[in-house]
Amino acid sequence: MTTSRAATALALVLLVSLHLSPAAAATDAPASQVLYRTVTIDGLDILYREAGPKDAPTVLLLHGFPTSSHMFRDLIPALADKFHVIAPDYPGFGNSSAPSVEDFDYTFENLANVIDKFTQEVGITKYSIYLMDYGAPVGFRLAVKHPERVQTLIIQNGNAYDEGLDNDFWKPIKAYWKDRTDAQGDGLRSLLTLDATKWQYTHGVRNVETISPDTWGHVQPLLDRPGNQEIQLALFYSYGSNPSLYPQWQEYLRKHQPPTLIVWGQNDAIFPAAGAHPYKRDLKNLEFHLLDTGHFALEEDGATIATLMRNFLDKQVKQ
């Protein structure tokens, strides 16, 4: 018998002795192992990361611009020993389908509809939602539509108040909402460059050496795909649909009082701390933390956020 055949035979003997089939051995993984899966929603392939026991409380992680579920790559294993964690990529982002603007209407209403159908397809009916940046208008739409499903909110630089948009970053985008011309749109293309992406990750951090270049190294090639700038410009315009819904989202908070954890990078120039404080007006069960970091707070303070989340979820969600 050759060495390779002997090794194969030994492996089969071990599998039999452990009462495992080769197929089971190939698919079984520790609960904390992050799995990369895809489901089809309305003809779109939606990639998602998943880890943790499926009978544990679920945390739905909703990413921001211009990243994807990649932003949660370290948070997921930090929670997965005792929580079921799931993080999808929106259409046009990460490794999900990215049809052209002619083939898919890139609005926040449509992104929310896809993620709503995604939650049904993967079978999660109760969850805490992590809202970050674009994740806020997606997640608040879910919460208003299905308040009975939301157990808690974790809000990290996710806006629901006019005060959060009252800054210089939003002035050219607000101008685009009022006048959707090619000239106005072309003026926003600078927000899709490598320099702008690096700035989002590094502005406001305590120590830039803690920020991995793998972040913009992952994001920028996706932004640079043919047709993706048009996708992002469509969503810049669609963001203008969100402020008119803020009163509805705030009413949801006042009426349903979801236990909420705020972990906010206070040096964020896009969604500054001015957008974090108004949550205090509407929420009674609120744990509030401003962190000395920037927009992508997980990059510098991921361990702190994971600890705060674990403690918060332990108190607020039945195991």
Per-residue pLDDT tens listing for the chain (319 residues): 444 444 444 343 333 333 433 333 345 567 779 999 999 999 999 999 999 999 999 999 999 999 999 999 999 999 999 999 999 999 999 999 999 999 999 999 999 999 999 999 999 999 999 999 999 999 999 999 999 999 999 999 999 999 999 999 999 999 999 999 999 999 999 999 999 999 999 999 999 999 999 999 999 999 999 999 999 999 999 999 999 999 999 999 999 999 999 999 999 999 999 999 999 999 999 999 999 999 999 999 999 999 999 999 999 998 7
Across the beta sheet with 44-51, what order do the strands follow?
35-41, 44-51, 84-88, 58-62, 127-131, 150-155, 260-265, 286-291
- Cα gap 266→107, rounded to integer Å: 28
User: Is 295 a known active-site residue?
Assistant: yes
Query: CB–CB of 199/208 below 8 Å?
Result: no
Say what the pLDDT of residue 117 is: 98
Q: pTM for the complete prediction? A: 0.90
* pLDDT, position 318: 82
The pLDDT of residue 304 is 98
In this prediction, residue 187 carries a pLDDT of 96
Pick from 86, 76, 179: nearest CA to 126: 86
- Cα atoms found within 13 Å of the Cα of residue 35, Cβ hemisphere only: 18
What pLDDT sits at residue 178?
97
C-beta of residue 140 within 8 angstroms of C-beta of residue 112: no
Identify any residues that bridge with 41 across adjacent strands, giving them in sequence order: 44
Give me the catalytic one of 63, 70, 84, 295.
295
